Structures are given as structure tokens and as C-alpha cells.
């Protein structure tokens, strides 16, 4: 008889504990708005992008004749490995016998970034 009482008390305690946990779970707030993270990653990478297709056609049409199709030079010097700023400056100033402002605006920005990426 004593064993039976102990067993019933134990069962009551276990049931009580379970009920308490159930209430706590229901109170937890649901996580919200975590989806924005993916977009932020794309934007961070987007800062370095340019129109590579336009850049390549600008290079072939305006620069390759003097700097070579592979940037290693022809009548002009090789320009492989130069930074975007160096290329932009050369485009604007036209060093030596290179004509200044062969391309301007977005075309100049694109081709300078493209050369720096090669």
C-alpha cells in the first residue's frame, strides 16, 4: 500500500512539471524579420560591381589598338595589373602620346574597373 502511494505522488509531480514547461514554451516570442540578411550581403558585394560587358567592348573599341587585346601592350605600354584610379587618371589626362578623354563617364569608370580586375 505504501509503494502505491509513492508511485501516485511521483506521477502527480511529473505531470505538474510537464504542465509548467508547456506554458513557458507558449510564451516564447517567435523570431521575426531575419530574411533581410540575404539582401544586405548582396548589397555589400554590389559596391564593387561594374558593367563588365560594356567595359570589355569599350576597351576593345578604344584601348586595345594601343595596349593590346590582352593588356600587355602594343604601341602603348602594357597596363595589366594597374589600379582603377591609375587607369582613370590616365584616361582623363592622356599621358604622353595617349589622347585624353578617349572615353568619359560610365564608360571610363567601367573600363578602368575592368582593367584593374584583369
Q: Under the rule (CB under 6 A), what is the footprint of ligand HEC? A: 62-63, 65-67, 75-77, 79, 82, 86-87, 90-91, 95-99, 102-103, 111, 115
Minimum CB distance to ligand HEC, residue 95 (Å)? 4
Q: Which of 113, 55, 115 is nearest to 80 (CA)?
A: 115
Q: Which residues of 44-74 are buried (b: 16+ CB within 10 A; e: fewer)?
A: eeeeeebbeeebeebbeebbbebbbeebeee
Minimum CB distance to ligand HEC, residue 29 (Å)? 56
Q: Toward ligand HEC, which CB reaches closer, 103 or 109? A: 103
Minimum CB distance to ligand HEC, residue 66 (Å)? 3
Amino acid at each position: 500500500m505504501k509503494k502505491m502511494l509513492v508511485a501516485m505522488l511521483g506521477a502527480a509531480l511529473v505531470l505538474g512539471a510537464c504542465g509548467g514547461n508547456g506554458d513557458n514554451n507558449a510564451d516564447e516570442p517567435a523570431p521575426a524579420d531575419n530574411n533581410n540578411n540575404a539582401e544586405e550581403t548582396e548589397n555589400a558585394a554590389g559596391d564593387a560591381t561594374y558593367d563588365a560587358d560594356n567595359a570589355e567592348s569599350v576597351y576593345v573599341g578604344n584601348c586595345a589598338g594601343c595596349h593590346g587585346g590582352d593588356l600587355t601592350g602594343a604601341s602603348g605600354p602594357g597596363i595589366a595589373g594597374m589600379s582603377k584610379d591609375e587607369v582613370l587618371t590616365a584616361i582623363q589626362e592622356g599621358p604622353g602620346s595617349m589622347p585624353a578623354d578617349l572615353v568619359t563617364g560610365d564608360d571610363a569608370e567601367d573600363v578602368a574597373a575592368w582593367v584593374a580586375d584583369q
